[in-house]
Amino acid sequence: MSATHAEHHDGHDDIGYHATLKGYAIGFVLSVILTAIPFWLVMAKVLPPGATRFIILGFAAVQVLVHMFYFLHLDAKVEGGWTLLATLFTLIVVVIMLAGSIWVMYHMNANMMPVDPQMMRNMP
């Protein structure tokens, strides 16, 4: 039995993103650019450290979106938007976990008992 072209695509929806070499090339070039610019900012010490941190975070957020769209093929059209909704939920959970971890570590560091320099010299 041979399946015709129409029978082969019976269960597929054509509204999703189709991977192409051009799409992968665009994603790759954008990823290289979004990595090279922050690398140059840090190595050349173009901006003050505080500003550089925020710019790097911005580039990282854009790079995550580039990877999601060009390599993972996630957008609002795929699977009726459920893939994007699940990804957004995951991102929210990750942000909450990271922010909570940073908050806990900051407060643990701020509330630790100060160490006497004399005690540090006598420790093994």
Query: Does 99 map to a domain?
Result: yes
Q: Are residues 69 and 85 in the same domain?
A: no
Region of residue 114 (left: phi > 0; alpha: psi -120 to 50; beta: else):
beta
CB 39, CB 67: distance < 8 Å: no
Q: Are residues 37 and 80 in the same domain?
A: no
pTM: 0.59
Q: What is the pLDDT along the chain (124 residues), one digit of tens a residue?
A: 455 555 555 555 555 557 789 989 999 999 999 999 999 999 999 999 888 888 988 898 888 888 888 888 777 776 777 777 887 887 898 889 888 888 988 888 888 877 777 766 766 6
Query: Does 7 map to a domain?
Result: no
Q: Are residues 65 and 108 in the same domain?
A: no
Coil, helix or strand at residue 116: coil
Query: Does 13 map to a domain?
Result: no
Inter-axis angle of helices 21-44 and 49-66, nearest 10: 170
Residue 59 domain boundaries:
19-73
Q: Are residues 65 and 25 in the same domain?
A: yes
